[in-house]
Structure 1
Amino acid sequence: MSQNVKWFNEIGIADVAEVGGKNASLGEMYQNLTSEGVRVPNGFAVTSDAYVHLLDANNAWKELHEQLDNLDVTSVDALQTAGKKCRDIVYNCEIPADLKSDILSAYEKLKEEYGENLSVAVRSSATAEDSPEASFAGQNDTYLNIATADELLDAYKRCLASNFTDRSIHYKYDNGFDYLKVYLSVVVMKMVRSDIGASGVMFSLDTETGFKDVVFINAALGLGENVVQGTVNPDAFYVHKPTFNKGFRTVLKRSLGSKEKKMIFTDTINLDNIAVEYTKNIPTTKEEQSHFCLSDDDVMVLADYAIKVEKHYSEKAGYHKPMDMEWAKDGNDGHLYMVQARPETVQSQKHGNILEVYHMQESGKVLVTGQAIGTKIGQGKAHYIKGVEELDTFKAGEVLVADTTNPDWEPIMKIAAAIITNKGGRTCHAAILSRELGIPAVVGCDNATEVLADADKVTVSCAEGEDGHIYEGILKYEIQKTDLSNLPKTKTEIMMNLGNPDLAFSLSSLPVDGIGLARMEFIINEYIQAHPMALKHPEKVDDETRAKLQELTEAYSSMEDFFVKTLSEGVATLASAVYPKKCVVRMSDFKSNEYATLLGGTTFELKEDNPMIGFRGASRYAHPNYEEGFALECAAMKRVRDEMGFTNVTLMIPFCRRVQEGQKVIDTMAKYGLKQGENGLEIYVMCEIPNNVIQIDAFSKIFDGFSIGSNDLTQLTLGVDRDSEVVAFDYDERDEGVKEMIRLATEGCKRNNRHSGICGQAPSDYPEMAEYLVRLGIDSMSLNPDSVLKTIENIGKLEKSLGR
């Protein structure tokens, strides 16, 4: 058996020393997962023994030692000079005859399997690659669409030479590897024709928060290098693993990337040209940019692959092992293939029960926004670097601003306070390396280099959800550290209020008993942006508004489909953060003046003098002016529960004035497929109008539970508009009359065996109100996330003193 070449069916994860991380993992998947439906292209490894054999046969070790033994890696000039000489030494080596014969024989055998027109991918596979401590992301070269024996041998040598790229040398230095002890194996595998398909990267957890219940997929048209290197803003998809494993096949959440270009193969290859190019980028069409590059069915196939890969590697390791994977869709056969899998190297290395949360303490002028990488905050002087020739001008502690970062830039990335790029998604190498380095980064900003070119000091915040914000100046922030192992378990359920899906995964680690108030309004305002009735009846709005609606919904099959999918995915994302714990979702509670601000809203909304007590909440749902809009809300919530599998979602009706109105809403929901009790559906009502308290026995006959909205209950009990500057001083949720209302409501729930909760500001703002509620025996309190930990501590002490 040849020591130079090993086929995928001969190697596995235990063979890293011989074939490198990439080959070992491909062999592992090929041997163990193809029988489970995971497609892996066949191929072979040219081993690390072959690498040593080639350097031995050419007496190259001595020359390499001369370049590397006394190298000052911190000197950019010295690194660049030594790196080029080392690459030349290796590339100029002759391939020994036996090695050449073995490679070409294996290539011919692969052609027997796939046909004479086979092209192959030739990829580097380092023997220290993909260890849990270091990913070696993007350190070595890959050559695609190799279609002749001469091209294959040339690409093989180029891969070996890339063991000494500047970035690879520096990376070895940073991670304590001996430059000459990291051997290189090479992958030769069937080329998946993603140049006429799509490709990307996926993780079996959320890369920013470590939330382990999702698969995260980035996708772009063409070859995968654009996604990996961060030169395009890709489409993004999330799939929820627990519901997927129960048989539900839906996208949890998606975002459309601009995908400005795609990488395809070049027509001609000149092997005499030192700067050999096998690929090129071309612009994508407007049609390609405005639609997702994967179907939902494709996303489900990839999620299935990711779950199976993670399960296999976890079982093999004996512990949960999140994975970082590359995939490609072949434009010829339409199939999806796994082309790489490695251990995730950042979130999986975090241990302990210390919750570290960064909070901005000041607000300021937002200069640029993009996708947040990590959840930290960084500050410093902005420094725009145009290209590799300017790297030596960058100083430690500055904020790196670039169009896109190449892995060659790793020496300056590690000393940056933060990183900002125009391009890239959450799975590009720049994002992976910034996570590995523990440095906040904001990618995909589009115009960062333009806006920040002359900026002075900036604050880069990744602590406000999925959007990263670059603020002008140095702003104050704090780092809150909590030892979760010391928190008590309270008898009173502590839940959180949450309306922004972008914060859901980052808050999933909070030790709460669920979400007590998930507001629809944020999702409608921020993601849908259009009035439901305008989407239902675009023919009733003016031409300009209709054009905007069409642009907004272009990626979807219809305007109604856009509303239903966007709302359902937003709500499901909130529910996923606490699954299978309860998530109480309040149906829309916009006031008429707020609805009017949505796209097309003025066509459908009446002007009211006092919208706070006007056409809002339950009164809208069965009314001819809005029933069709409510039907869309119901369709979205039915999708969340029945199609997406989030039966932990309880629905709640706001501002329900009378019992008869409540019954009418229940009947209307049933009409649109949300039948109380069916599939475990519970329907709560907000207890926020004095009549809800006075008639709580009657309301209890039609609703399954109550959530006290202390904000509106206070206003309506005291007759105070808290937004009025003249009388706002009289607004106080601690007033004895308000407290009496809350007591009567809580006792009424107990009397009728109904759930009692509170989701207003009171327990978040006033510890004494939280204590009052505990003494009343309320079932749950839903708090703002920043109040949760302190309230748990306080209530734990109180319950202990009360002997509970």
Structure 2
Amino acid sequence: MTTEPDEKPSRRRRLWTALRAWGPGSARAGAALTQAEKVRLMYDRFREILNLNDSTLQLIADLEDRLSGLKPFALSPLVQKIRRAAMDVFVMVKDLNQIAGGRYSDLYETFRRLDEDLEIECAGLRPQFSGPLVMALDELTAGHAGRAGTKMANLGEVRNLLGLAAPEGFVITTAAFARFMSQNDLWERTDRLEEILEVYGPRSLAEACREVQLAILAGSVPEDVAHEIQAAYAALVGSEEILVAMRSSALGEDRAASHAGQYYTELNVGRSWLLDAYRSVIASAFSQGAVSYRFERGRTAAEAAMAVGCLRMLRPRCSGIMFSRNFQDPEADQAVISAVAEAAADVAWGKQGAEEIVLAAGAVQARPGSCLQAHELELLRRTARRLEAHFGGPQDIEWAIDPDGRLFILQCRSMLSARPVERALPAVESDRPPLLSGGLTACRGIGSGPAVLVRTDDELDRFPQGGVLVARHSSPSFSRVMRLTAAIVTDVGSPSGHMAILAREFEVPAIVGMEGATATLQPGQVVTVDANSCKLYEGEIAWPESAVEIRPALYDSPAVLTLRHLSRLVTPLHLIDPGSREFKPSNCQSLHDLTRFVHEKVFEVMFYLGAEASPDQQTSLKLQGSLPYDILVLDVGGGIAEGARTSGQVRPGDILSAPMQAFLQGLLDPRIRWDQPRAVSTKGFLSVLGQGIAGPPAEAQGVGRISYAIISDRYMNFSTKAGYHFNTVDTYCGKSLNKNYIHFRFTGGAASEERRARRVKFLSSVLGQLDFKVQSRGDILVARLEKYEHDFIRSRLSELGRLTLCARQLDMLMDSEASPDYFARAFLAGQMEKF
């Protein structure tokens, strides 16, 4: 919160304009770099994209969790995280364009538009306090709540529009509060309270709140504010020494959360102590109790902005509190009054007993010994109904009657309805043990139906209504059928992944990381999925009605509502299918969309890194040993042992790269005798001769048997151009499941088109069984495996090394339509001698 003009959007624009200047085509980017330096720079940018993608998706998952309203949160730190995430996404856009030579420059304009919208929204969260420093109560109506706070604005409405009696007085406005906070450099201290709340919770606030309160009490009231306060007091009392009550009237007070008893009221304040009392009331907004209350009730820090009412003290004969409806039976035509002789301050604080009166419809009679007479009871009841009608609902009213029998209204606020107590959702109750348990909740809830095992996206087109989607791996493509699904269960996945986020948006019960689901469940098997406790039962089991998700107490709180409004520019995912024509920069409507686009396109660029970079003898090292290919290795960070790099002699045992180690394990499998001539059929050989006479494809001409490997400790791009066929393996294998992937591309061959297509069919069959998602057309195949654990990625890379060797020249053995299945079964059975 600040009263100063917000310059951050312009600073941010200058920053990202300066950063963009480092992109392709700039003087800096144009500095002379060796081929190896260029590759290392591309890899560094690639890793930065992976890291920022991970952190952005984690933030999105965190926002989705907060939007559920299941637990309180501090808004300001989240807003700062969103702002930082926006800059992270910009860095991703810049990095992609550096890697891709500016191919996606349209993303800069998309980001600029989205970032400006985001900054406007963020700026709107910081109240810009303006207007007079002091206002007379005679000027106020409910419409002045932004300046006078809700309590004093409502009191002005009661006095000036309804014509009911209220004490004379004035209000020190929120503009004065902002001046006080700015002059004493207190904004940063109070913001720190929210950061402590977010990280450590309310119990850690005591010392920090004490420091803030002491700083407020020691602060100096700005001269213009002090002058206005003294002038307003003089106008109220003249030359008399009349005492006033200084009452809190914060922005959020008396609205959807009552803040009852959270803020301080200073009674019997004279001229000499006005400024000290003013500081005391402001300080009460930052007590540990008040800060914790706002946090638990989902209120925002902006609602602590404190106006202070200064009201002439009354000397009542009788006073108290009145509810216009009986809170135990709100439908009944009853009002409830607590009354004491003289002042009732101690009643509100629970320090004093009071006479409790239930006013039912009909004739009113006063009790013997009551401080209230029958006509006063009737006056109170009529006043309660009048206030209720004016403000549109039951009211909580503080009142006083002076010695002359005149009724004064001291406070009037909405009487808040009790909400159900928040509770954990119960689990399914069943005598039978669960069929499976474990994994992580992606979206709470319970669902049952027949299991539908999904291995490919094509199967989604046949997904039935009410099925339980069971898959090896989570995928954002499941959004296509989420409105049909009863629940989702995957063997592998992350609660921060795209699918998990979509499941929460569609409110589909989902469990990710439930190992063994696809191996255990049979198609059509009826199951009950309890995502509340991560258990899966056989059969359809009835669950308690209370197990259905209810809207929690914080669902409509200001913090959640504000975050929900802001998050529409952050969390929704509109770009689902990378193959769609709609998958383009201009259709990015959120930070999630931009992140998804960059993440997808950087894989495409890196896939061809080895082929385009073409490391040479000066920048790379030749891998020594008995190998099926001549391999040049370029280490971009931690991929080769230091001693080997220094000596220039690199052997397989010197490779430290996790993915390269795994790939070589398969490539060097002794069961595959790549060094011996392969038997070929006569027809296959003649097919090759025919292709040779016709001439090799242009991209095969002049291509030898040299392969290129660009590696780091957790990355490998392996590109092979041998004879007539080409294949590339691009992979990342680290500790973060969200970053891990394998992309494989295979094309070409020396035999006829028909035989090459059969080899692709063989590859498709094997890779499908190895959990890859495969697309093929003719003799071109592309396979992807994403977001699996480190060890699983390594195992599949080893298989891919074997497969690369086994597929070599296999097109010449593809004599019939049965050949692909024959060789696929042989490979999967480990019968390498057949190759």
- Smaller-chain TM-score range? 0.3 to 0.5
Q: Which has the higher contact order (CA 8 A, sep 6+)?
A: 2
Rg (Cα) greater in structure: 2
Tell me the TM-score normalised to structure 2 length: 0.33
